[in-house]
Amino acid sequence: MKKHMIRKGAASFIGGLAISLSGVTYAADTWDMPLAYSATNYHSEIAKEFADEVSAQQDEIEIITHPSGSLFKGGEIYGAVRRNLAPIGERLISALSNESPIYSIDATPFLATDFDSSWKLYQASKPAMEKVLARQGLKLLYSVPWPPQGLYANKPINSIADMKGVKFRAYNPATSKIAEIMGAIPTKVEAAEVAQAFATGVAESMLSSGSTGYDQKLWEHVKYWYDVKAWLPKNMVFVNARAWKGLSEDTQKIILKASAEAEKKGWAKAEELANWYKVELAKNGMTVELAGSTLTDELQAIGVTMTLDWLKEAGPEGKQVIDSYQAM
Ligand code: PCA
C-alpha cells in the first residue's frame, strides 16, 4: 500500500511529463472490478471487502469495485473480462448459459433448492465450470449464491394458467424458457433495471429472490411473492487469465486467500439474509406465502422437463456432474 501511495504521489508531483507516466502506472495498478448489482447488496458488499482486503495486503494492484452495472452492464461483464477490458468481474453464472450448458445447472428448477444441496451442486459442477472458464481465458476466484427463488406477481397466482399472457421479467435463458412454458411473455431485464421495468409496465412478474425484490423495492409495484424455492443461482467472481499470470506469486496467494474468505462469508450471509428479506417484503405490505399445491406441482413438472433437457444438452459431462451431486 505504501509503495502504491508513493507512486501516486510522485506521478502528481512531477506534473506535466508524468501525466502519461501516471496513465501507464494507473492502468497497470488499478484493477477495475465491474459488478451488476446494487452497492448495498451483500454480493457487492462482499466483493468490496474482498477488493479492499487484497488492495491493503500488497503493492501490485488496487482493486476498485463498480456496482450497479456502472462500469459495464451485467450483460457485458463476462465479455469485458474475457477481452481484458476489465481484469476482474462478477457475473450471474446462469446468465451465461449460451456459453456452455454447465453454466445453467444452478438454475435448473428444483435440482437444488436449499443452501446445503446448492453447496453440493456447486462442488459437483465446479471442475466442469473451471474447464469452461479456462477455455475462455478466465479463472474462477469465488462463487456466492442468491437466496431461493420465488415468484413475484401483481395478482394471486394459483396455477400456471394464471401466468398466461403475463409480462415476465427474465434474467437468464432458463427463466425465459419457464416463462414460455407457462404461456407468459419473457423479457430480459438486468436486476439494476428491474424497478423501472415494473414501474413502466414492461414487467409484471418474475422469478427471483427476496434479495432483488428488496433492493428494487418491488412492493411499490407488485403485491405477491410466492416462496417457490425453485433454485439458488450463483454469482461468480473471475479474473482474466493473462492478467492473473502477470501477477507475482505472492499477490496471487493473497487473492486466493481473500477469495476463499469471500466465498465463505457469502454463503453464510446469503443464508442468514434469506429469511430477513422475506420479513422485509411482508413488512412493506407484500403477501409472502408458500405457493399452493397446484402451482407447486406444475412448476415441479416444468423442472423435470428442464432437467431432462439439460442432461440431453450437457451430454456425458453433465450426467457425470449430476451423478456426483447425487452421490454427495
Ligand atoms: N437476483 C438476481 C439473480 C437471482 C436473484 O435472486 C436477479 O434477479 O437478477
What is the Rg, in whole angstroms, of the alpha carbon atoms belonging to the chain? Answer: 21
**Residue 173 pLDDT > 80, yes or no?**
yes
Instruction: Please report where in the chains the cell 479463472 appears, as a residue.
Output: 139
Nearest-angstrom CA–CA distance, 213 and 220: 10
Within a 10 A sphere around the Cβ of 195, how many other Cβ atoms?
Answer: 19
| Ligand 1 atom showing the smallest separation from residue 208 Cα | 6
> How many residues are recorded in the chain?
328
- CA 246 to centroid of ligand 1, rounded, Å: 33
- Judged on CB neighbours under 10 Å (0-12, 13-18, 19+), 42 is buried
pLDDT tens, position by position, 74-87: 999 999 999 999 99
| Ligand 1 atom showing the smallest separation from residue 212 Cα | 1
**Residue 19 pLDDT > 70, yes or no?**
no
Question: What is the Cβ-side half-sphere exposure of residue 260, based on CA atoms within 13 angstroms?
Answer: 5
The residue contributing the CA closest to ligand 1 atom 9 is 191
CA atoms 83, 85, 90, 96: torsion sign: negative
**Residue 1 pLDDT > 70, yes or no?**
no
| Ligand 1 atom showing the smallest separation from residue 146 Cα | 6
pLDDT tens, position by position, 237-253: 999 999 999 999 999 99
* C-alpha cell, 193: 433495471
Q: Is 209 in the pocket of ligand 1 (CB under 6 A)?
A: yes
Q: Is 124 in the pocket of ligand 1 (CB under 6 A)?
A: no
pLDDT average, residue stretch 289-303: 97
Q: Is 171 in the pocket of ligand 1 (CB under 6 A)?
A: yes
Classify domain 27-327 at the CATH topology level: D-Maltodextrin-Binding Protein; domain 2 (3.40.190)
Q: pTM of the predicted model, to two decimals? A: 0.91
pLDDT computed for residue 18 by the predictor: 41
The string of DSSP codes covering 8-72 is HHHHHHH-TTHHHHHHHHHHHHEEEEE--S-TTSHHHHHHHHHHHHHHHH-SS-EEEEETTTTSS
Residue 241, classed as helix, strand or coil, is helix
Nearest to 92 by CA among 69, 59, 58, 124: 69
The residue contributing the CA closest to ligand 1 atom 3 is 208
Q: Which of 151, 212, 215 to mutate to test the pocket of ligand 1 (most atoms within 8 A of CB)?
A: 212
pLDDT computed for residue 23 by the predictor: 43
Q: Is 210 in the pocket of ligand 1 (CB under 6 A)?
A: no
- CA 323 to centroid of ligand 1, rounded, Å: 27
Nearest-angstrom CA–CA distance, 174 and 139: 24
pLDDT tens, position by position, 104-153: 999 999 999 999 999 999 999 999 999 999 999 999 999 999 999 999 99
Residue 222, classed as helix, strand or coil, is coil
